[in-house]
Amino acid sequence: MGLRIAAAAEAVSLVVLLVNLVTLHLRPVTQLAGPLHGCAYLAVIALTVASTRAGRGRLLALVPGVGGALVLRFLARTERASPTGGRGIASPPRSRHIR
């Protein structure tokens, strides 16, 4: 859930920054959206590292602006294809005790 919020904040803040850049270029908008975008970007990276062991997923998080969306897509694909639930962590084998 947190990764979805961070990915959305990253994408929305990037759009706000780009629209501001090509239109009025208002300094207050830049001063607000810039740090928000930076924090969201760092949150996406931290949450990705915390939620997956997959190297590819962690690398996708480093893509500025769309890394969060790419990681969410990657995790959705690996959850469908993997019996470990996409986390890269296998569940411990069940022991069978004969009594």
Q: What is the pLDDT of residues 9-62, one digit of tens each?
A: 999 999 999 999 999 999 999 999 999 999 999 999 999 999 888 899 999 999
> In this structure, is residue 96 part of a structural domain?
no
C-alpha pair distances (Å), 25 with each of 9, 21, 31: 20, 5, 11
Domain for residue 92, yes or no?
A: no
Report the number of distinct structural domains present in the chain: 1
CA angle 28, 30, 33 (to 5 degrees): 105
Q: Global pTM?
A: 0.77
The boundaries of the domain holding residue 24 are: 2-81
- Residue 90 belongs to some domain of the structure: no
**Whole-angstrom distance, CA of residue 33 vs CA of residue 21:** 12
Cα–Cα distance measured from residue 95 to residue 47, given in angstroms and rounded to the nearest whole number: 33
Residue 16 lies in a domain: yes
